[in-house]
């Protein structure tokens, strides 16, 4: 994992496994989540590391790095949940459906937002644009207006 993420030190990370999702930060050696340190790719189905300039997307069959160029469509997604506790730089979130997770953010009030870019592709014959994927730029807790 250290070699895969070498250009993403201090980047935010989301990891999907068979039974959990981890939010964390890569410290140069391992991904540090609230209650676990992850140093190998064993058991990881999907991983996204992002620093606002580029995103690494890893899945079991391969990986790609996407650098934000400005020709993407910026979008945001509001996550379900409410921050119920903050401690030691981590916010505990309850999604209201039985799920709980920790974000490496120390802020209690606001909506949980994932900022992403939809990657545009073009069909060769028709020149029709389509969204061929997405890359995550950031996640944050933003003030409710």
Q: State which H helix or E strand residue 133 sits in.
A: strand 129-142
Per residue of the chain (145 residues), what is the pLDDT tens digit? 899 999 999 999 999 999 899 999 999 999 999 999 999 999 999 999 999 999 999 998 889 999 888 778 888 889 888 899 998 899 999 988 988 899 999 888 888 899 999 988 889 999 898 888 899 999 888 876 6
121 neighbors 129 (Cβ within 8 angstroms): yes
Question: In angstroms, rounded to a whole number, what is the distance separating the alpha carbons of residues 12 and 117?
Answer: 16
CA distances from 116 to 15, 30, 48, 84 (A): 16, 24, 12, 25
Closest alpha carbon to 29 in 41, 21, 38, 42: 38
**Residues in CB range of 14: below 8 A, 6 or more apart:** 21, 22, 23, 47, 48, 136, 139
């Amino acid at each position: 994992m250290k070699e895969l993420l070498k250009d993403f030190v201090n980047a935010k990370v989301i990891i999907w496994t068979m039974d959990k999702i981890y939010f964390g930060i890569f410290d140069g050696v391992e991904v540090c989540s609230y209650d676990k340190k992850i140093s190998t790719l064993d058991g990881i189905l999907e991983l996204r590391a992002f620093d606002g300039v580029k995103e690494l997307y890893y899945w079991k069959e391969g990986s790609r790095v996407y650098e934000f160029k400005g020709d993407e469509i910026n979008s945001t997604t509001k996550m379900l949940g409410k921050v119920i506790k903050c401690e030691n730089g981590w916010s505990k979130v309850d999604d209201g459906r039985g799920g709980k997770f920790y974000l490496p953010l120390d802020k209690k009030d606001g909506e949980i937002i994932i900022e992403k870019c939809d990657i545009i592709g073009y069909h060769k014959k028709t020149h029709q644009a389509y969204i061929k994927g997405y890359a995550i730029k950031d996640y944050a807790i933003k003030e409710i207006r």
